[in-house]
Amino acid sequence: MRDDLSSRSGATRVVIHGALGRMGARLCALAAAGDGVRLVGAVDRESSASSIAGGVRVTASIDEAPPCDVVIDFSSDEGARAAPALARQCGSALLVGTTGLSRETEGLLRSAAAERAVLVAANMALGVAVLAALARRAAAALGPAYRAAIVEAHHAGKKDAPSGTALRLAEAARSAGADLPADQVLSIRGGDVVGEHTLRFAGAGEYLELIHRATTRDVFAAGALRAARWLHGRPPGWWTIEDVLGLGPG
Ligand code: NAD
């Protein structure tokens, strides 16, 4: 992984948007303790006067956010829509982990990439990036005679279904020729499941299953901080998690 750029010096200063959420809380804690990152600000619409995360005050308004190198958004579709304005306020690059983005929000984020480095990733775990690459290889090798399907499970509090990761894996498999109809992407919600994705190819006489299980949210938070360090100092443009991990699209 290329993680050092001559255009930057010192730790990557981050502001977390959605700081009081499940992911935001872990991001603030890991960033505050972080190697190569420094938590300088936190924003969440639910903030009150006494809200603190990772040792910094959480503000409700993006206008109070300090200058930083990378804004990290794990909030909601509405929050992600406000994230380019927050990055403008902070003079920073923008990393978005929020899933279930509307077309309008995606369009706004793509426009923001004309003026700053932007990276949107539905899943920041290294294992999922590898799974997407394996999905393409398996689909290309097995061909459309093997019916593909995805089953994903998440905790009851997850708002979008199917998960952004399931949609990304489906796109990866289809791009390599898999027969994967939309009704074969199935979602299960309940309990405290951090995230589980099974990609299945069923042929005559055999089936192949590729499974990724996240056992802690910290895998996403650590991945996001790694991506933030990588994004720090990049020129304006639309970057991907594959760029961060040095995994080509193939
Ligand atoms: P959550 O509901 O626990 O937390 C979201 C936080 O964002 C809340 O504190 C909420 O008050 C805040 N928020 C929402 N809208 C806002 C707005 N307009 N302005 C300011 N703050 C706002 O959710 P979560 O479990 O932390 O997940 C957040 C997002 O991250 C979801 O879309 C989820 O699917 C996604 N996620 C992505 C990855 C990944 O690796 N990319 C991993 C896990 C979760």
Average pLDDT of the segment spanning 163-185: 97
User: Catalytic: 154?
Assistant: yes
Mean per-residue pLDDT over the chain, rounded: 94
What's the CA gap between 244 and 250, in Å, rounded? 15
Does the structure show a pLDDT above 70 at 249? no
User: What percentage of the chain reaches a pLDDT higher than 90?
Assistant: 92
Residues with CB under 6 A from ligand 1: 18, 20-24, 44-46, 74-76, 78-79, 82, 97-100, 121-124, 158, 160, 220
- pTM of the complete model: 0.93
Residue with tokens 């990036």: 129
The confidence band for 35, taking pLDDT boundaries of 50, 70 and 90, is confident
Question: Dihedral of CA 227/228/231/233: which sign?
Answer: negative
Q: Which of 17, 155, 158, 232 is catalytic?
A: 158
pLDDT for position 241:
93
What's the CA gap between 205 and 27, in Å, rounded? 45
**Residues of 4-20 as b/e, b for ≥16 C-beta within 10 angstroms?**
eeeeeeebbbbbbbbbb
Average pLDDT of the segment spanning 208-224: 97
**Beta bridge partners of residue 120, listed in sequence order:** 96
What's the CA gap between 30 and 118, in Å, rounded? 22
Does the structure show a pLDDT above 70 at 3? no
* Residue 125 Cα: closest atom of ligand 1: 40
- 177 near 186, Cβ under 8 Å? no
